[in-house]
């Protein structure tokens, strides 16, 4: 394609106004550093944008495209939530298994706490009304 013409681009985008909008947006993308989709041959960004449009590589997103993208995003989000839920359940099972493996002395048995309290009270004084009396 030696020279790009409006007629070449109108084969891909029939509306002239839409063609101008599409070319302007793509030109801005190219000026912002987007990778050209066709060989640039040191052309200006506008010419590269028009060549991409004529080649059918650049177009506006249709309502169907947008709907498909929304559905794909929703499916990805649902999958992420399922994976997160499975990971949370696995952590809960691991924590429960670790708790079950603890010895009974660490698990909070009430009788052992009473025995420890009695051992600690041997030899201590208990405060009475007027003074302290050894136990």
- Report CA-CA distances (Å) from 30 to 49, 59, 89, 119, 127: 8, 15, 47, 82, 87
Residue 80 backbone dihedrals phi, psi, to 5 degrees: -60, -40
At residue 114, the pLDDT reads 67
Do 31 and 44 contact (CB within 8 A), yes or no?
no
pLDDT, mean of each 10-residue run, the chain (135 residues) = 80 89 94 89 89 89 89 96 94 89 62 64 56 51
At residue 112, the pLDDT reads 64
At residue 87, the pLDDT reads 94
At residue 2, the pLDDT reads 67
Q: What CATH number is given for 6-54 in this structure?
A: 3.90.940.10
At residue 84, the pLDDT reads 95
- Report CA-CA distances (Å) from 84 to 60, 74, 79, 87, 88: 35, 15, 9, 5, 6
Question: Three-state SS for 37?
Answer: coil
- pTM for the model: 0.50
Domain ranges for the chain, please list them: 6-54, 63-100
At residue 10, the pLDDT reads 87
At residue 113, the pLDDT reads 65
């Amino acid at each position: 394609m030696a020279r790009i013409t409006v007629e070449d681009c109108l084969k891909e985008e029939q509306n002239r106004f839409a063609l101008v909008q599409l070319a302007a947006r793509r030109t801005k993308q190219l000026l912002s550093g987007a990778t050209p989709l066709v060989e640039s041959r040191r052309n200006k960004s506008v010419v590269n944008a028009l060549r991409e449009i004529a080649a059918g590589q650049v177009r506006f997103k249709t309502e169907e495209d947008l709907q498909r993208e929304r559905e794909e995003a929703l499916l990805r989000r649902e999958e992420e939530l399922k994976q997160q839920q499975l990971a949370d359940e696995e952590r809960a099972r691991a924590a429960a298994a670790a708790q079950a493996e603890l010895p009974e002395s660490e698990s909070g048995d009430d009788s052992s706490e009473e025995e420890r309290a009695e051992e600690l009270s041997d030899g201590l004084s208990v405060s009475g009304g007027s003074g302290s009396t050894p136990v």
